[in-house]
Structure 1
Amino acid sequence: MNTDRKQRIRKNLINYTIFLLIMGLTFYTVLRGQDWNQIWEALKGLSLPCLLLILASALFFVCAEGSMIWYLLRMINPDSSGLGKCISYSFIGFFYSGITPSSTGGQPVQLYYMKKDGNALSDSSVVLMTVALLYKFVLVIIGCAMLFFWYDPLRSYLRKYFGLYILGLVLHVVLVAVLLAVMLAPEAMKRLIFQIEHFLTRIRILKPSAGRAEKIRQFIGGYQDAVYFLAKQKYRMLLVLGITFLQRCSLFFLTGLVYLGFSQQGTSLLTVMLLQASVSVAVDMLPLPGAQGITELMYCRVFSHVFSQACLMPSLYVARGSSFYFLLVVSLLVVLLNEAVRRRGETVKDRQCLRAAGRRYTL
């Protein structure tokens, strides 16, 4: 087993351990002292059509990102991966983002699989960065709109979590600014990459290589071309922005479906969606795998006057279970299936090479 593979396995084990520890602590905190008979009775009252729509909304959230990856890749290179592959990249990204702090593990793994499938690294980088930029940009727009046009209700519902909301919004604005700077200032990006490469070489993590510098220049060149190309596709980018908005709202609508599924009354569907959006703004950038713990805690506080006391915890289990844990399980299955198909393909290819070599030897 080579060193890179050992390091990757060790890093994954650390991520899994941290994830499971936080998940265990979250479950313990959320489930402790609950009246399970009351919760079960409430869950039995959940509308089945609403439950199916809830799961469909969750799946739409991930599949919509895959569709955008496919659309952007095909804009740059018509011979890139198909829609099914791009949707699998989205599920893979969701899984590794869910188990790593601040969702940092998703994009590197997506890039790895996209490169393995023959997509240019520069094209894939631009596409994933564009998707991430639009994803955060939409949340910034929604967050700022709520802050300016829904200030009093927002502060009333969030109470002591209003400061966390402001912090989350500021972090999103900073991230959007950084992503824009990286995409629109490729020369600065080039200098940054060379500085990182020089530093890693100096501390002997990387070996000196003239070929590496040329590969970096080729990557930056391809990156610049892809950015310039996308910048010219204004109407198509507006379409992608619209899909991103629908994708974001699908999770907010999911909580609204939970509200309707439990036959709750007294709060408008729009208010429920806005409150879920406020939770997302507050916790999305926190350095916790899947924002576990704080999401559940904030949900209980924010929705305590929206859901009845009997339905508050069941609504949390359904909303959070479908939008995160359900998708995490589906994403894990996609990761395992992808690996199995890839290994089978490599095995078949190796056998074909051996047969070809055997025929040449016989001749």
Structure 2
Amino acid sequence: MNGKKKNILNLLFLAAVFGLTIYGVFKGEDLHAILQALKKVKLWYLLFGMIFVIFFIWGESIIIHYMLGTLSIRTRKRTCFLYSCVGFFFSCITPSASGGQPAQIYYMKKNEIPISVSTLVLMVVTITYKSILVFIGLFLVIFQRGFVNRYLTGILPVFYLGVVLNVFCCAIMLVLVFHPVLAKNIMQAGLKLLVRLHILKNKPERAERLTNSMDQYTATAAYFKKNKKVIVNVTLITFIQRFALFFVTYLVYRAFGLSGTSVYDVMMLQAVISVAVDMLPLPGGMGISEKLFLMIFPPVFGTALLLPGMILSRGLAYYSQLLFSAAMTVVAHFVIGKPKPERVLFEQQSKGKSI
């Protein structure tokens, strides 16, 4: 299946999930009451919320720019921002955010950034991004039992599943990175087993692609070992980036003139939703995110403002992010690589380094 057909299918799937989500959320609800509640919000809080959404996207671009710099590749910050927007747009419209990084690699390649470099950078971004969710999930499970018992009793199976899936995903990535030889042997043995069971055909090019893929993990391991300070800095930036998006829900809470619930509780509840839905095969966690919000936020927003609160929170954190990144992706399509590709300077070549 070529890329254009795949994108069309992803958009159709997104539209179908969106339609079902709208139907499920608003079925049987008093739309007039919802509109009246929305008219009373303080708009400047929502403006700040949009700024934090853009800051969330910008945060990843700073990481990309910073990491490329550590590899002696000079890029413009505004170009990295476009890379980030492309990634978030395709992540928003594809199941499990699977389309974000391939699209970013494509646009980086248009600016003459080698695939080996972009893959390395984005792999580190993914590992740190997932690691923050793992930290949040384990922190709540181990140290915040009171919080869990107060707010999450109705969604504990989904929350625990999200924690387990994220831990499992991070563990696999870390094994691949820090034990590349072991991981390579396991993957090759698994491929041979699938061929032996006639699940896959014996194609030499498949084994070659697997070897090339494993080489990327080897390069990532080498980068981790040589750039520990960089990894610490990237993790700190990612932590701030993620919580900036969680803070949007608190701004929505304040936009309704509500008070009494701490910023910590509101942000951690939003973080719980991210932990629970991150690994599910739905674009942007659409549908399940709205359902979980309605299940765990009643103590915060109350019955009357729960649905309006969900609409504004998801509208800012996901749907505005989708629209903004879509617009910037259009800009990226016409700007990146045209008419003159941004020249990539490989200082490491003159220093005898290799990426």
**Does the TM-score normalized on the shorter chain lie above 0.5?**
yes
SS class of match (2:301): coil
In 2 relative to 1, CA 223–116 (structure 1 residues): closer, same or farther, beyond 3 Å?
A: farther
In 2 relative to 1, CA 272–216 (structure 1 residues): closer, same or farther, beyond 3 Å?
A: closer
* Correspondent of 1:267 among 250, 257, 261: 261
Matched AA of 2:35: W
In 2 relative to 1, CA 221–150 (structure 1 residues): closer, same or farther, beyond 3 Å?
A: closer
Match of 1:331 in 2: 325
Supply the distance in 2 between the matched residues of 1:319 and 1:301 (Cα, whole angstroms): 14
* Correspondent of 1:292 among 286, 291, 313: 286
Match of 2:6 in 1: 11
Match of 2:300 in 1: 306
Supply the distance in 2 between the matched residues of 1:42 and 1:99 (Cα, whole angstroms): 29
Supply the distance in 2 between the matched residues of 1:84 and 1:330 (Cα, whole angstroms): 15
**Which digits, 9 at most, give the CA deviation of each residue in 1:201-229, with x for residues without a partner?**
x97897x67xx95x987886676455423
Unmatched 5+ stretches in structure 2:
341-355
User: Are the equivalent residues in 2 in contact too, given 1:143–1:278 (CA < 8 A)?
Assistant: yes
In the alignment, structure 1 residue 152 sits paired with structure 2 residue 146: yes
Supply the distance in 1 between the matched residues of 2:77 and 2:173 (Cα, whole angstroms): 26
Supply the distance in 2 between the matched residues of 1:99 and 1:310 (Cα, whole angstroms): 31
In the alignment, structure 1 residue 123 sits paired with structure 2 residue 117: yes
SS class of match (2:2): helix
Matched AA of 1:49: W
In the alignment, structure 1 residue 172 sits paired with structure 2 residue 155: no
User: Are the equivalent residues in 2 in contact too, given 1:46–1:262 (CA < 8 A)?
Assistant: yes
What's the TM-score, normalizing by structure 1?
A: 0.84
Match of 1:60 in 2: 55
In 2 relative to 1, CA 219–182 (structure 1 residues): closer, same or farther, beyond 3 Å?
A: closer
Supply the distance in 1 between the matched residues of 2:182 and 2:4 (Cα, whole angstroms): 33
**Which digits, 9 at most, give the CA deviation of each residue in 1:329-348, with x for residues without a partner?**
111112212222358528xx
Match of 1:357 in 2: none
Supply the distance in 1 between the matched residues of 2:240 and 2:290 (Cα, whole angstroms): 24
Q: Work out the percentage of aligned pairs sharing the same amino acid.
A: 36
Query: Highest Rg: 1 or 2?
Result: 1
Instruction: Give the drift of 1:308.
Output: 2.6
Match of 1:95 in 2: 89
In 2 relative to 1, CA 176–216 (structure 1 residues): closer, same or farther, beyond 3 Å?
A: closer
In the alignment, structure 1 residue 27 sits paired with structure 2 residue 45: no
User: Are the equivalent residues in 2 in contact too, given 1:81–1:119 (CA < 8 A)?
Assistant: no
Unmatched 5+ stretches in structure 1:
1-5, 347-363
In 2 relative to 1, CA 142–197 (structure 1 residues): closer, same or farther, beyond 3 Å?
A: closer
Supply the distance in 2 between the matched residues of 1:217 and 1:15 (Cα, whole angstroms): 29
What's the TM-score, normalizing by structure 2?
A: 0.85
Supply the distance in 1 between the matched residues of 2:223 and 2:337 (Cα, whole angstroms): 35
* Correspondent of 1:72 among 67, 76, 83: 67
Matched AA of 1:30: V
In 2 relative to 1, CA 245–118 (structure 1 residues): closer, same or farther, beyond 3 Å?
A: same
CA RMSD of aligned residues (A): 2.8
Match of 2:38 in 1: 43
Supply the distance in 2 between the matched residues of 1:229 and 1:315 (Cα, whole angstroms): 43
In 2 relative to 1, CA 275–225 (structure 1 residues): closer, same or farther, beyond 3 Å?
A: closer
Matched AA of 1:73: L
Query: What is the number of equivalent residue pairs in this alignment?
Result: 337
Supply the distance in 2 between the matched residues of 1:343 and 1:229 (Cα, whole angstroms): 27
User: Are the equivalent residues in 2 in contact too, given 1:81–1:117 (CA < 8 A)?
Assistant: no
